Amino acid sequence: MTVQSQKSFATSESGKLYLVPTPIGNLDDMTFRAVKLLHEVDLIAAEDTRNTQKLLNHFEVKTKQISFHEHNTESRIPELISKLQAGLNIAQVSDAGMPSISDPGHELVNRCIENEIDVISIPGPSAGLTSLIASGVAPQPFLFYGFLNRKPKEQVAELEELVNEKPTLIFYEAPHRLKKTITNLQKVFGNRQVTLGRELTKKYEEYIRGTLDEVLQWVQTSQIRGEFVIIVAGNPTGSNSKDDKNQALMKLPVVEQVDELIREGLKTNSAIKQVAKLNDLVRQDVYNQYHDIN
């Protein structure tokens, strides 16, 4: 494998790709350098041109836009590469925050590197780090995960893969999925420390801090609005809290095991099936024992 240095790209006649972060809420968070670049580049590749136009109008930027989002990535990248190779400088922006972080951009960066086109990253806003340092949860080490799977079973499976991670975990979540995600976090991770960052940098910015039990109660009784960052404490021991929970459960009589799982939200038949599997018993035997059938 040959080591590649971007310094060697500098003699190329190609243009440059600038990765320009945009504010996550407050337009005053736009840096002088970022505004200057948006004025100077030949083209802006934007996730949503209508949304980005509001930003450009605010800073009186007249640069032309082109759409670049998850649904047109394959068709748009060759076009952008061709423009860069022709000498145009392009700024790539997402709707809010850093390009490539839970937003489009990574594939374009890789294609630029393959074609020896300079990629220049501009520092700026990031919702994950903004929330992390104000969360009260240990800021390092941390593991940024972004959005979890939307499907309940797949989401639980993802969380079970993360349950042993010692670093603080950072997730993003939409308001309409927050309750379900917090429910699954509490079910898989147990009662860890957690902070929700809501509407960051905006007028109604809010941090909700507590344990997963407490925050689950908050989401069940509150009106959920705005985009959320979820900061969850890591596993300090690296042990599997699910295994620990199962071991504690198995110390109870079989009928009480079923009752405990029902209290946690499982339906009776699902709880019986899980107890049978956990104890290596025949499901029908557990069913009969639970329902007192001789």
122-155 pLDDT, tens per residue? 999 999 999 999 999 999 999 999 999 999 889 9
Could you tell me if residue 28 is inside a domain? yes
Could you tell me if residue 66 is inside a domain? yes
What's the pLDDT at 8? 59
CA 8 to chain centre: 34
Show the domain range for 274: 252-290
Q: Provide the 10 A C-beta neighbour count for residue 152.
A: 12
Could you tell me if residue 4 is inside a domain? no
Q: Are residues 149 and 68 in the same domain?
A: no
Could you tell me if residue 6 is inside a domain? no
Taking only the tens place, the pLDDT of each residue in 106-129 is 999 999 999 999 999 999 999 999
Residue 207 to residue 261: CA distance in whole angstroms:
31
Question: Considering 98, 121, 144, which residue would you say is the last residue of a domain?
Answer: 121
Kindly tell me if the per-residue pLDDT of 3 is higher than 90.
Answer: no
Kindly tell me if the per-residue pLDDT of 7 is higher than 80.
Answer: no
Could you tell me if residue 243 is inside a domain? no
Residue 270 to residue 22: CA distance in whole angstroms:
47
Instruction: Quote the number of domains for the chain.
Output: 3
Q: Are residues 140 and 84 in the same domain?
A: no
Could you tell me if residue 1 is inside a domain? no
For 162, the 3-state DSSP assignment is: helix
Q: Are residues 44 and 112 in the same domain?
A: yes
Q: Are residues 24 and 62 in the same domain?
A: yes
Phi, psi (5° rounding) for residue 67? -75, 140
Closest alpha carbon to 159 in 139, 178, 181, 137: 181
Beta strands in the chain (DSSP E): 17-19, 43-46, 65-67, 90-93, 119-121, 142-147, 168-173, 193-198, 206-211, 228-232
Could you tell me if residue 5 is inside a domain? no
Q: Are residues 117 and 143 in the same domain?
A: no
Q: Provide the 10 A C-beta neighbour count for residue 173.
A: 22
Mean pLDDT of all residues in 39-45: 97
Q: Are residues 70 and 144 in the same domain?
A: no
